[in-house]
Amino acid sequence: MNPKVIITCAVTGAGDTVGKHPAIPVTPEQIATSALEAASAGAAIVHCHVRDPETGKGVRNVDYYREVMERIRSKNTEVIINLTAGMGGDLMIGDGESPRNFDEDNTDLVGPVERLLHVADLRPEICTLDCGSLNFGDTNSIVVQTPVQLREQARLIQSYGVKPEMEIFDSGNLWFAKQLVSEGLVSGIPMFQLCLGIPWGAPVNTETMTYMVSQLPDECVWAGFGIGRWQMPMVAQAMILGGHVRVGLEDNLYLDKGVYASNGSLTQRATEIIRLLGAQVATPAEARATLGLAS
């Protein structure tokens, strides 16, 4: 069991959750405020997407990321900021016998440099690196990350002096993430995030997480999460297996059945689970030491 657990709060994501919850953070101010709430509740890391303030849809706007970071840092200089780099890989295949007729309204497919513009400009301590392609749900949506693209993204992230959090959605993603490490494209202690329950990636259960943990390199830091009602069971599961944890409205909208959550309440629930199981919640300074980040 991990005696000192880092909590990451994934604040808002880019999914179609606006309208499914009364208070999804949408504007940069709302996202920053919710991140600060999570930090006050015990999150050492806040993982941030940004959204179009008018539509609520996920976007890659550098100015929105800048505003989020500035608002967080104006109130809290300790919490670790982790910016997504997952946007820009969405491909919506055309229907029926016309798969090349891509749905342009729901396709956002750009190259590695454009995908990382906000990381290059703002230099957060951590950014994500989704380590493979995925059939995303039951539509024609595919999230595209080819090996060539990923090697270039890893090289760019390394050149920016930012730590990649390698997002693992299936066993092949983990295989390739370890390849990036072996090729020297990931500096320092490698950091893995095991993402369970996203259709149609790795299923969320004890057996899957245990298998993935068995495949991790000896020298690494890892965390894991499950989506929806599996969020809190996977908090317990990850820490028991020796890892760190992630919660937040990106992955789960409810604190209890029928009770809407906030990022603060989800983080607080995670801290309670960690302490009830006999461990401690890591501070941002302790998380930096564990992750090999500059203090």
pLDDT along the chain (295 residues), means of 10: 97 95 97 98 98 96 98 98 97 96 95 98 98 94 97 98 98 98 98 97 98 97 98 98 98 97 98 98 98 88
* Cα angle 240, 137, 91; round to 5: 120
3-state secondary structure of 19: coil
What does DSSP say about strands 221-226 and 191-196: parallel, antiparallel, or unpaired? Answer: parallel
* Cα angle 13, 223, 240; round to 5: 130
The pLDDT score that the predictor gives to residue 149 is: 98
If we measure between CA atoms, which residue out of 130, 204, 208, 126 comes closest to residue 167?
130
Domain that holds residue 167: 4-291
The pLDDT score that the predictor gives to residue 42 is: 98
Question: CATH number for the domain including 71?
Answer: 3.20.20.70
If we measure between CA atoms, which residue out of 140, 60, 86, 80 comes closest to residue 250?
86
The pLDDT score that the predictor gives to residue 295 is: 67
The pLDDT score that the predictor gives to residue 35 is: 98
Q: In whole angstroms, give the CA distance from residue 135 to residue 5.
A: 31
The tokens describing 217, both together, are: 């390199």
* Cα angle 146, 149, 155; round to 5: 140
* Cα angle 234, 253, 55; round to 5: 135
Q: pTM for the whole thing?
A: 0.97
Torsions phi, psi for 36 (to 5 deg): -65, -35
| Amino acid at the residue 15 | G
Half-sphere exposure of 173 (CA within 13 A, CB side): 23
Torsions phi, psi for 240 (to 5 deg): -65, -35
How many domains does the chain contain in total?
1
